[in-house]
Amino acid sequence: MNKESNHLLDGIKVIDAASFIAGPSAATIMSDYGAEVIKIEPESGDSLRNLIINGRMPEGKENYCWELTSRNKKSISLNLKDERAHKILVNLIKDADVFITNMPFPIRKKLRITSEDVRPHNNKIIYASLTGYGEVGPDADRTAYDSMAWWARSGLMDFVRPSEKSSVAWSTPGMGDHPTGMALYGAIMTALYKREKTGEGSEVSTSLMANGAWANGVFIQAALMDVEFPGRPEPLPRHPFYDFYTTKDQREFALGMINSRIEWPKLIEILERNDWFERDLFNFENPFDNADILRSELSEEFKKRTLNEVNELLRDSGVTFGVLGRTTDHREDKQFLETETLVPLEHESFDNLLTINSPFVIEGEKKIAFSRAPHVGEHTKEVLTGMGYEAPELNALKELNSIYWPDK
């Protein structure tokens, strides 16, 4: 890693031979810190490009799934079934620091991109493998998406149901992919640190299933320690101190006053409702006494105020609460903006476009100015020319369908 560069990962070259979100998102984070990421795609493009249509998701003038996960990258289009294209990939591998793939093992073998295929060409490379269910075991060769291997297999899908009669809730796109991509990023960076100490590359791996188990770790650990989980009848009402309330403008927020001995007096003070003290409306020893009355009176108080007014009222009060956000809120949310959770993305189709930042900062290390995601094969000529291939050879390879770049 180049300590004299402008960005932490300048000089690190990553081959992104993965698809969809989890594997590629690890490369995205590396690109945010300056790594050069070369995205390998067939002429038809990464399958993520079609997620909006195939998943019946809302459409926009640009592909938001692709833009988020593929920003900053260079796309080269190689037909890896072709021997000539495979030789190009081998030449890329020889000069790379990281190789990322999440292809199922049978496809890796067919395309000759297994760890055993890749690492002999470069003993310093980090081979990063992401799978649905792990590297071994009866499900190792299965295809998977985060909705199945992360959300369903982990027990999260079942556990969030209010009752056994409730329908299962599907995860949102990328819900398990992005945290799994963070885990893969962490593994890659740990391996790069190891390489700094040993001079040798290594293989790292993680899976959607393992990350789903980590996300549901509290209850899985409970089951492992023989805790008995009762059947789930229709849900009982929550305590008023840990419940949702509706505001004057029909928005919602949640109180989260678990530390009620400290927070209840603060809420009374901020709402100027000393009569609740005088009426002994809340009993610390028997907290559900008067719960219905308390919930009703809290509801009436909050219905007098808009969500913004509640936010301003409670923000510095010491009362724990959380706004039930909507995805359309975030571009105007000062907390999102001032913490740079949302940052600019350079894109010719939009003025002042924002995107979601990778979710951590390192003191003294700036991220690059984020640029739009590439078109299929947009950088094929640029990258291969930089490797020493000349125009006649490139044109011949394109004619043979070994490589591709758009004519315009």
Write out the chain's pLDDT in tens, 408 residues.
Answer: 444 569 999 999 999 999 999 999 999 999 999 999 999 999 999 999 998 888 789 999 899 999 999 999 999 999 999 999 999 999 999 999 999 999 999 999 999 999 999 999 999 999 999 999 999 999 999 999 999 999 999 999 998 887 778 888 899 999 999 999 999 999 999 999 999 999 999 999 999 999 999 999 999 999 999 998 877 766 667 899 999 999 999 999 999 999 999 999 999 999 999 999 988 888 888 888 999 999 999 999 999 999 999 999 999 999 999 999 999 999 999 999 999 999 999 999 999 999 999 999 999 999 999 999 999 999 999 999 999 999 999 999 999 999 999 997
Residue 229, pLDDT score: 83
Q: What's the predicted TM-score (pTM) here?
A: 0.93
CA pair distance 68, 77, nearest whole angstrom: 20
Question: Which residues, including other chains, have CB under 8 Å from residue 344's CB and lie 6 or more apart?
Answer: 352, 353, 354, 355, 369, 370
Query: Can you give the chain as a three-state secondary structure string?
Result: CCCCCCCCCCCCEEEECCCCCHHHHHHHHHHHCCCEEEEEECCCCCHHHHHHHHCCCCCCCCCHHHHHHHCCCEEEEECCCCHHHHHHHHHHHHCCCEEEECCCHHHHHHHCCCHHHHHHHCCCCEEEEEECCCCCCCCCCCCCCHHHHHHHCCCHHHHCCCCCCCCCCCCCCCCCHHHHHHHHHHHHHHHHHHHHHHCCCEEEEEEHHHHHHHHCHHHHHHHHCCCCCCCCCCCCCCCHHHCEEECCCCCEEEECCCCHHHHHHHHHHHHCCCHHHHCCCCCCCCCCCCHHHHHHHHHHHHHCCCHHHHHHHHCCCCCCEEECCCCCCHHHCHHHHHCCCEEEEECCCCCCCEEECCCCCECCECCCCEECCCCCCCCHHHHHHHCCCCHHHHHHHHHCCCEECCCC
Residue 234, pLDDT score: 66
Count other C-beta atoms under 10 Å from residue 90's C-beta: 15
Residue 123, pLDDT score: 97
Residue 125, pLDDT score: 98
CA dihedral 367, 202, 182, 49 (to 10 degrees): 80
Asked whether 223 and 154 are in contact (CB, 8 A), the reply is no
Find, among 120, 121, 122, 101, the residue nearest to 111 by Cα: 101
Domains annotated on the chain, with CATH: 13-217+341-404 (3.40.50.10540), 240-323 (3.30.1540.10)
Hey, what are 259's tokens? 């530390």
Residue 220, pLDDT score: 96
Pairing of strands 342-346, 354-356: antiparallel
